[in-house]
Amino acid sequence: MSSKEKKSVTILTESQLSSRAFKDEAYEFYKELRKSQPLYPLSLGALGKGWLISRYEDAIHLLKNEKLKKNYENVFTAKEKRPALLKNEESLTKHMLNSDPPDHNRLRTLVQKAFTHRMIFQLEDKIQHIADSLLDKVQPNKFMNLVDDYAFPLPIIVISEMLGIPLEDRQKFRVWSQAIIDFSDAPERLQENDHLLGEFVEYLESLVRKKRREPAGDLISALIQAESEGTQLSTEELYSMIMLLIVAGHETTVNLITNMTYALMCHGDQFEKLRQQPDLMNSAIEEALRFHSPVELTTIRWTAEPFILHGQEIKRKDVIIISLASANRDEKIFPNADIFDIERKNNRHGHGNHFCLGAQLARLEAKIAISTLLRRCPNIQLKGEKEQMKWKGNFLMRALEELPLSF
């Protein structure tokens, strides 16, 4: 999207936001929005009219705004309720990311004990073993695709073991996850995604039946126990919660590990600084989260009550989408926002009641993954030019298709 084209665009569509071309030029586009159009109109197909938020302070305000709802049933009347876009939608959308208080609090409480500081700390040795095992496989080759060989398998192994699901199914999760986070409303894509989600529902049905017969000390067994005790979980909520934990438990971490490694490869001075000063790792992770936000756009929020923002009326039923990628490059909050600086002091992430439950786990996985990579492969470098690296066309995520590295 050229500068000339940007000026002529009055409404952005879902397909534009999901395109690889948009991802390539998004940061410059966001910069223009923050200056002149911090509330930008969207056309979201069956979801209706929406608005894209690009400034940090607006993002903070709206993430905590009780006029915005995640569950569209709290906004639409029975007559206004939109038809399901996918046949399998109901079985996979009744999770805490699509819920509002008090349901959100009930659902979050059921799983948050698995993500306490103590529980996460106990996983450290296991994560380290996984990281070393993955590097053992590729180190003799002096080459790897970081995404396929390291960044994807590490978190999917961790969350699979936490949930108690067979590790051999992890490649299926990768395909199903992409179908879930694909917002496309193109008829052929909808049909394909619905088929894949149908496969996922069948898988969950089989998995839950097995766990009912043979409960173990894993998180899925604990959720089934909660469901059997009455009104804690419906069947749809149970399937949806398992789905969310599988997808959220690895998708964002894959992008964090990959995007952070890519940023370090593109900024040799910062890479060398981190190698020389490993105690900067925590700070470097926060900067990586800001610089190439793993989640580019938030999931949708529905307007339950009209309000005014930047002189524009946001009407009931309007959709609000917040660009975390843009907010994290806001010059008013982050000096030299387009500079990757692993010693940056004022990084602030995580706001609102939907703050990521697994954020602490993701940070630990990234810390171990990157530290181990730098220690074991000190001469690691990008194989090819950085301009050759391609961002995936995806609505929600900022994800590289691959990241070839030699060492």
CA angle 330, 255, 395 (to 5 degrees): 70
For the chain, which residues make up each domain, given as ranges? 3-406
pLDDT of residue 7: 46
Q: Is residue 52 within 8 Å of 46, Cβ to Cβ?
A: no
**Phi, psi values for residue 130, rounded to 5°:** -65, -45
> How far is CA 215 from each of CA 144, 163, 238, 322, rounded to the nearest angstrom?
38, 12, 15, 40
The hierarchical CATH code for the domain 3-406 is: 1.10.630.10
Could you read off the pLDDT of 258-288 as tens digits, one per residue?
A: 999 999 999 999 999 999 999 999 999 999 9
Could you read off the pLDDT of 83-103 as tens digits, one per residue?
A: 565 666 666 778 888 889 888
Lowest-pLDDT range of 39-53, 109-123, 132-146, 343-357: 343-357
Q: Is the pLDDT of residue 228 over 70?
A: no
| Rounded Cα gap, residues 71 and 74, in angstroms | 6
Q: What value does the mean pLDDT of the chain take?
A: 88
Chain Cα centroid distance, residue 209? 29
Long-range contacts of 230-236 (CB under 8 A, 24+ apart): 232/106, 232/110, 233/107, 233/110, 234/94, 236/90, 236/91, 236/94
Where is 227: in which H helix or E strand? helix 219-228
Partners of 313 in the β-ladder? 308
- Residue 83 identity: P
